[in-house]
Structures are given as C-alpha cells and as structure tokens.
Amino acid sequence: MKKRDIAFGLIVGILGLVLAVGAQTFARPCVHADGSAAVCATVKTWLTVEGGLIAVLSGLSMIRPNAVTQGIAAAGGLLAALTPGLLIPICKSDMMACQRVTRPTALVIGILVGIVSLWWLALTLTAKRREARS
Amino acid sequence: MTPHKLPLRNLLRRPGRTAALTVLVVFLALSLFAGSVIVMSLNSGLGSLENRLGADLIVVPATARGKVDPEKIWLQGTTGYYYMSASKLEEIRGMQGVAQASAQVYLASLRADCCSMPIQVIGFDPETDFTIRPWIGERLKADLGPLEVVVGSRVSAGVNETIRIYGESCLVIARLAPTGTGLDTAVYCTMDTMAALLQAARDLNHELKIDGDPARVVSAIYVKAVPGEADRLETAIRQTRNPKVTVIRARTVTSDVERSLGGVAHTITVLIVCVWILALILLTAAFLLLGGERRREFAALRALGMSRGGLAGIALKEALLVSLFGGLIGIGLALLFLLPFSGLIESALGLPFLQPGWQTMLILAAGTLLAVCAAGSMASVFSARRLSRVDISTIMREGA
C-alpha cells in the first residue's frame, strides 16, 4: 500500500462514513411532531447506503488501488450530492431540517468525495500509464 | 529546463512539503474570506431589517409577549398569532402625532402543504400599508386578489402554484426578494384573504381566541410618527386601554440586533486576527526551516551561474504559487460551506443574515486572494534573502 493511497482512501472513507452516520444522526431528515414520516424520509436510507458504499469502495481501493472502484466512489459522491432535492423530493420550506442540514451536508460531502476521488483516480491512471511506459 | 519552470517543478517534486505549506495558506484564506462574508451578511441583514420594519412604533396586544415574542416572528420566523379589536387602529389613527398607521393580522398555519411545519401568514391592508407594499412592489405590480398570496423567499412554493392553508387553496402570484430575516419565511395576503383564512381555521375548530367577527381583528399596528413626535406618541399609546397594548420601538429592535451583531462581528474579527498571526508565524518559520534545508540546492544553482536575484525570485515564486493555490482552495472551501449552510448559520446566530450578491463575493474573493498572496510572499522574504546570499564555497565544504 502506498502512502498516497492510504491518505486518499482515509479521506474518502471518513467522508463516506460521516455521510452514512450523519444521515441517521445530526443530518437526519425531518420527522413531524406526531411522529409520522415527512416527504424527505427516504433520503435518510439513500444517504446511508451511498455513504456506506463510498466508505467500502475507498477501503477496497486503499488496499488495492483500482480506477474502477475510485470512479464508482466519485460517482457515488456526486449521486449523494444530488440525492436530497433533485433525485428524492424533500420538504419545500427552507425552515425544515432537511433543507437546512440534510441537503447542505449531502451536497458538501458529495462534492468533496467527488473531487478527492477524481483526483485519486487521475493519480492512479497517471501512475499506471507511467508503469506501462517503463 | 528553463529557470521559469523551476519553482513549479520544485513544488511538484516535493508533494508533502508543498501540501503542508498549502494547508497553512488554506487556513488563512478560509478564515479571511468566510469571516468577511459572515460579517458582511450580518450587516446586510441589519440594514434589510431596518428597511422592512419601516415604522417608528409597532403596537401589539399586551398579551402578545406571553404567547410569542413579536421580535421572534420578525427575526427568526417563529410562527405565532394574537389579536385585538380593529377599533384600536381607528383610535391610534385619531391620535395627535400619527403620520401613518396600518394594521397587520397574523395567523400560523397548521401544516401548509408546501411545508411540513407551520408557516406564518401575514395579512395587510394594501390601501394603508407602508411597510410590506414597497417591498412587494419590487416583485408585483398588480394588486393582490382574493385568496392570492405572495410568499417570502424561503417558502419554496413557486409562482402560480397553490398552497393550502386550513383547507383553502391560495394561489402564489409572486416571490419576494430575500431580506435575511424571519419575514422571508412568511406568506403575505390582503385582509380579505386573511379574514377567509381565519374563518377557515375556525371552521376546522382551530382555537384562535377571537371573539366575534374575524374580519374585525388586528395583530399589530404599524405607526409612523410625525418627526419629533415618536416619544410623546409612544407614551400616549401606552396609556390607552381596552385592550392594553405593548408598544415596541422599531429602533429598539434594530438596536438590540445591532448590539448582538457587534458582539458576533467582534468575535469573528478576533478569530481572524488570531488565525492570521498564528498562520503567518508558522508560514515564516516553515519557509525559514525549508530554506535551511535547501541551501545546498541553491548553492548548486548559484554555482551553475544563476544570479542572486534569480535565486530570490525562485523562492518568492514558489511562495506565490503555494499562496495562489492554497488561496483558491480556501476560498472554494469557504464557498462550499457558506452557501449551502447559510440557513443553518442564520438560525444558529438568531440574527438577520443576508448573504451578499455574487459581485460582492467576487470582489471579496479577489481581495482575499491578493491578501493571501501578499502574506505568503512576505513570509518567504527572509528565507529568499538568506537563500540568495548562500556562500557556495562554505556550503560545498560543509557537504564534503
């Protein structure tokens, strides 16, 4: 394992875990006062799955750097950024927790995962090209 | 390889060292840009609040504060309602020193279908209003009809959509410009629409505590005093009875906000200064330490015929590249957090928060980048000076 892959893997993995855990805790979508599920309830499940997937893929890619898994992790990040609001509807009012916390959290983590994974992917591909040349 | 490419190559050849220096610069840019945007947003929010309150005195029933603090409705978007007889408006209008007076009626929806939580509905009289109309007029030229509403910038119902409030379908005909206050989360309608909504709420057995006709109640009376008469008028209104009222000076609300804002702005400024002092000391130390390590490298370049100015130029260009890269990352990170989390920041601070437009953001970003580049260059000046004066013979002898 290269130091570089460990660093990138850890960053992406931690971001994925924060997303998965956050969707269940500090960034969970809204619940009505009567306990019933709000429009945005399914976002929680999707973000947890996406965050978990990103963490697993980064772990795999850390052990064995692979452009495919890094590419899927980047796509997962972008998917997570688009999940609340675009792919899955959330409450319309800006006053709701899903608008104030869940959506921004997914957006920020998703974009960061996307950027870091794409950077990692570019470095992996460059290293492979260099190896092939030599 | 030309000497021009040398600084970039040096940075790329040592990714660990470059990353460490970049992280320091990222902190500088992040703190300066984010801090400036937050302070500026708070100042814009205060200005916007002053414009929107637009009255000298706001008269509410004496029982209002027991239910919900009116200031929370204006500042934080807390929903609430309280009523007094509309005859109070006529009484106040008849008082000496009143230039203009207009009433508003508040209603908190149960759960409008646009939102999963109550929204504040504010009814106003377009004939006499002088606080909401100028603001609505920016977006809506026509008059509001029956069951037509205008929504604040944070109510995510689009124009021509309908929102159901107490079973009544209301057509959204305009969205207002953001103010950064709680008024952004409200829905605005005429008194006729409000009377219909109050009746609908009563029909659904919602306890509003209104005696008699819902069309004959008001929640707040906005009063503009004749210049110099505000103090006397305030005392006169306070002395009225049936019902007893509370008089809120709009200036007091904005002064309170100004005081809180001053505290927050002061804390942010102190934090920015601390981060800058620490980061500058660390950056200067890092450049000096790295310069010490690189004396042989620079001595070799000098032996190859590079001038002293050329050596100093390499060190300065490296610092400038790191500053530029780190500055861009810092500004990018600040934007990535500030833009989506503005709602959360506003609710956490409990103060009006109106983010500046993109032009101002661009100017702030350019200013931050300039400041960071200047700071990075300054931090590397000592190191560049030392490296440009390397004594080739001594260093080569040390290494032998």
Q: State residue B400's pLDDT score.
A: 46
Q: Which residues pair with B262 in a beta bridge?
A: none
Domain extent, residue A60, equals: 3-129
CB contact under 8 A, A93 and B343: no
- With CB atoms and an 8 Å threshold, state whether A93 touches B117: yes
Q: How many CB atoms lie within 10 A of CB A104?
A: 21
Q: Do A93 and B340 touch (CB under 8 A)?
A: no
- Phi, psi of A20, deg, nearest 5: -65, -45
Of B154, B157, B340, the CB nearest to A107: B340
pLDDT of residue B2: 64
Q: What pLDDT band is residue A55 in, cutting at 50, 70 and 90?
A: very high
> Between these two residues, A104 and B303, which has the higher pLDDT value?
A104
Determine, yes or no, domain membership for A110: yes
Q: Say yes or no: B22 contacts chain A, CB-CB below 8 A.
A: no
Tens-place pLDDT, residues B214-243? 778 888 898 988 888 888 988 888 888 777
Closest-CA residue in chain B for A30? B116
Query: pTM to 2 decimals?
Result: 0.74
Amino acid at B136: I
Choose between B76 and A127: higher pLDDT.
A127
Low-confidence ranges of chain B (pLDDT < 50): 400
Buried b (16+ CB within 10 A) or exposed e, B51-84: ebbbbbbbbbbeebeeebbbbebbbbbbbbbbbb
Q: Searching chain A, which residue's CA lies closest to the CA of residue B348?
A: A100
pLDDT at A13: 96
Q: State how far the Cα of B286 lies from the Cα of B283, in Å rounded to an integer.
A: 5
In a domain, A134, yes or no: no
- Minimum distance, in Å, between the CA of residue A107 and any CA atom of chain B: 8
The predicted structure's pLDDT at residue B301:
79
Residue A95 has pLDDT above 50, yes or no: yes
Amino acid at B322: V
For A9-52, the pLDDT digits (tens) are 999 999 999 999 999 998 888 776 666 667 778 899 999 999 99
Task: Give a yes or no: residue A69 inside a domain.
Answer: yes
In a domain, A116, yes or no: yes
Do residue A95 and residue B344 have CB atoms under 8 angstroms apart? no
> Do A96 and B115 lie within an 8 Å CB cutoff?
yes
Q: In the sheet that B186-190 helps form, which strands lie side by side, from edge to edge?
A: B162-165, B168-175, B148-151, B186-190, B120-124, B98-108, B220-225, B57-61, B245-249
Q: Which of A64, A66, A51 is nearest to A13 (CA)?
A: A51
Cα dihedral: B309, B314, B319, B320 (round 10) = 80
Interatomic CA distance for residues B197 and B112, integer angstroms? 12
Domains identified in chain A, total number: 1
Residues B132-162 have pLDDT tens digits of 887 777 777 778 888 899 988 878 778 888 8
Quick one: DSSP state of residue B217?
Answer: E
Question: Taking CB atoms and an 8 Å cutoff, what residues of chain B touch A30?
Answer: 116-117
Taking alpha carbons only, the member of B352, B328, B355, B331 closest to residue B342 is B355
Inform me whether the pLDDT recorded for A59 exceeds 90: yes
* Cβ-based contacts of A111 with chain B (< 8 Å): 336
Q: Which residue type does B240 have? A: T
Q: Tell which B residues from 247 to 306 touch A, by Cβ distance under 8 Å.
A: none
Domain ranges of chain B: 3-48+257-399, 63-243
Q: Is residue A47 part of a domain?
A: yes
pLDDT in tens, B183-211: 788 889 999 999 898 888 888 877 777 76
Tokens 């994925």 belong to: A16
Contacts of B273 (CB under 8 A, 6+ apart): none
Predicted pLDDT at A71: 94
